[in-house]
Structure 1
Amino acid sequence: MEQVLVEEYRNETLECLHRGHICGVGPDGQVKYEVGDADFVAFLRSAGKPFQAIPGVRAGIKEAYELTDQEIAIMTASHRGESFHLETLSHLMDHTGLEQSNLVCAESYPMHRGSREQIIRNQGHEQRVYHNCSGKHFGVLSYCKLMGYPLEGYEDPGHPVQQEIVETLSMMAELPADQIARGTDGCGLPVFALPLKHIARAYLKLSCPELIEDEKTREAVQKITAAMHAHPEMVSGTNRICTTLMEDTNIIAKGGFKGIYGFSLRQEQLGFAFKIVDGSDEEWAHIVVSILEQIGYANQQTIHRIRERFPSAIRNDAGKIVGHTKEVFHL
């Protein structure tokens, strides 16, 4: 049931098709918009990070370790390893007493090209803190330390913190925990798969926490999303689509590897999730902006900013326009 979402043309000849599924839900959690199959099951990957941060913030890690909003925001991040990311991670380690050696994610170089090149020029080496998921890991470990849980094995699905994460996701997504499929993410932590309509419901509650019945969870979500809005660059990086969207305080957004994306709109009380089935993420911005345009989103500045930073023109390595991208789906 997947449908073509985006076409790519080189000159005027069709070169690539990107198929997928889109689901949008309203305040009652029911499907309001659908392209393809709203019941398509997709792994959340890094789009799950805001939910993985909830147990720790709910338990009081922000207050216990005197964490800043930057440090909370980077717990939801797929950071690029830019200088401000690394500075925040350093402060996070100082405040919590955690070290890189506590992390199970692999050593790597920053994903941000300039930062990576600078480290290599300075004869630096791969480190766990450079991994784009390190903020999430420090968030989970901070919670373990606060609760007295063992730090070793925090990645094990049977660890108390992982059990609480899946229970929290179950509540936010309105899906029984035993119906959430499990796997192992690239960073080593458990990752969860569920239908797009339930991902959209969970994202709706990030923008509309008043829909969350549990008071402590509601307060934690408010702290997390406030930090993401205050420091959107922490959640991804300079001029990334997540950053661009959350410069608009009406929107919460987070993408994940292999083409999954979730975002929600507070004033409109809408939650969206979509999956590009070939796993590409280059089309995220084009799909999001087309959704916003099709629903008549009022903030034209946001739409203009997306179109400006993520133009439809395809350029070659020398910067010459050689083709274009076209959104072709209809909600």
Structure 2
Amino acid sequence: MTGPVPLAEIWRGEFLESLHLGHAVICDGAGQIVQAWGNPDQVVLPRSSSKMLQALPLITSGAADAAGLGTEQLALACASHQGAAIHTQRVTRWLDDLGLGESDLRCGPQLPDDLPARMQMIKTDTSPCQIHNNCSGKHAGFLTLGKHLKAGPEYIDPSHAVQKACLDAFEDATQLTSPGYGIDGCSAPNYATTLHGMARAMGFFASAHTRSDSVSTAAVRLREAMALHPELVAGETRACTELMRAMNHKVAIKTGAEAFFVAIVPEKQMGIALKVADGTTRGAECAIAALLVRLGVLDADHPTTLKRMNAPIINRCGTLTGYIRPARGLVA
């Protein structure tokens, strides 16, 4: 067993000022480790990076098709969105179609991260509601599954049929029994696994198009929906959205709170999972960009890449003071 290793470096002039340590794993479609940094057996909470796994029973149960969900709703079920109008309007319509409303959600209100939406609220002295929560799409998916299963309204309870289905899907995809859960920011249980387990699950998603079973078919639908609608998965200026666009919608990636990141790379039939130990977003974004460059699916010189990998650090006077760089050996 090893500890966390350097994944990203902060340079100020000629001085290495800070290091972001963590763990990263690349798996093939069979779940075997292709390469790893740090400890593949590190137990982690994948946070919102597990939303694709939580969305699997939405499809395999028949709930998605019974409710007539399209690719936009499937992308939102996997999303950590900005609370922009393109997100809130779609979630509102989804709930309307279910005969439900904002009060049926259990994710809690959240001020939008989308700047225009936030500024409009400030100008009009409006309070955010639960639909603005970055997880409202996931919760709309939970409600869709709960209605299909004829289960009760408290769908975030770990003993609820919805969460039991999510746990089963999570453990099947990771091929590990979860040691437990923490309560996520949106109040739903977030199940723990190892970093290898999450990378194995991403490898499963990445190779799902080679199989015809119902779970693999569901995985393909979710991955394709995310890649087709990157603006719904996160939002403008966000790494998930911009990097998926930079890879021509061929790769699905998803961040999670506390510096988690996963990637699904179908053309290589590989999955990536990484965790920066200090929970810092800049380190995770630099590291995931570096690994995508390493796999040859992201152009190292693309402007979107350069915002995260080898990104310049500019001070308040506009002077270049340093760079955020991937640790040596991460790219090649």
Q: More displaced, 47-56 or 218-227?
A: 218-227
Displacement of 1:238 in angstroms is 1.1
Match of 1:160 in 2: 161
Q: More displaced, 82-91 or 183-192?
A: 82-91
Match of 1:186 in 2: 185
Displacement of 1:230 in angstroms is 1.5
For 1:321, give the aligned amino acid: L
Match of 1:315 in 2: 314
Counterpart check, 1:290 vs 2:326: no
Cα distance between partner residues in 2 of 1:223 and 1:233: 17
Q: Scaled by the length of structure 2, what TM-score is found?
A: 0.91
Give the one of 74, 80, 83 matched to 1:81.
Answer: 83
Match of 1:124 in 2: 126
Displacement of 1:62 in angstroms is 2.9
Match of 1:103 in 2: 105
For 2:180, give the aligned amino acid: A
Counterpart check, 1:26 vs 2:25: no
Match of 2:235 in 1: 237
Structure 1 contact 3–329 (Cα < 8 Å) conserved:
no
Identical-residue share of aligned pairs (%): 29
Cα distance between partner residues in 2 of 1:158 and 1:212: 31
Cα distance between partner residues in 2 of 1:33 and 1:148: 44
Cα distance between partner residues in 1 of 2:76 and 2:268: 27
Match of 1:60 in 2: 62
For 2:207, give the aligned amino acid: C
Match of 1:3 in 2: 5
Counterpart check, 1:223 vs 2:221: yes
Q: More displaced, 4-13 or 41-50?
A: 4-13
For 1:209, give the aligned amino acid: A
Please provide the CA RMSD for this pair: 1.9
Displacement of 1:52 in angstroms is 0.8
Q: Structure 1 stretches of 5 or more lacking a match? A: none
CA gap 1:286/1:299 in 2 versus in 1, 3 angstroms: closer
Structure 1 contact 292–303 (Cα < 8 Å) conserved:
no
Q: Deviations over 1:136-193 (max 9, x none)?
A: 1111011101111111x211111111111111111111113xx442111111000011
- SS of equivalent to 1:306: helix
Structure 2 contact 265–271 (Cα < 8 Å) conserved:
yes
CA gap 1:222/1:298 in 2 versus in 1, 3 angstroms: closer
Structure 2 contact 183–190 (Cα < 8 Å) conserved:
yes
Cα distance between partner residues in 2 of 1:318 and 1:106: 40
Count of residues paired in the alignment: 325
Displacement of 1:273 in angstroms is 0.7
- SS of equivalent to 1:282: helix
Where in structure 2 are the equivalents of 1:144-155 lying within 5 Å?
144-151=146-153, 153-155=154-156
Q: Structure 2 stretches of 5 or more lacking a match? A: none
Structure 1 contact 42–260 (Cα < 8 Å) conserved:
no
Q: Deviations over 1:210-267 (max 9, x none)?
A: 4667x22122222212211211110011132211232333312111001111112111
Cα distance between partner residues in 2 of 1:244 and 1:314: 19
CA gap 1:319/1:206 in 2 versus in 1, 3 angstroms: farther
Cα distance between partner residues in 2 of 1:228 and 1:3: 30
Q: Deviations over 1:263-317 (max 9, x none)?
A: 121111111111100011122332122223334x1553x7624324436101234
Displacement of 1:127 in angstroms is 0.8
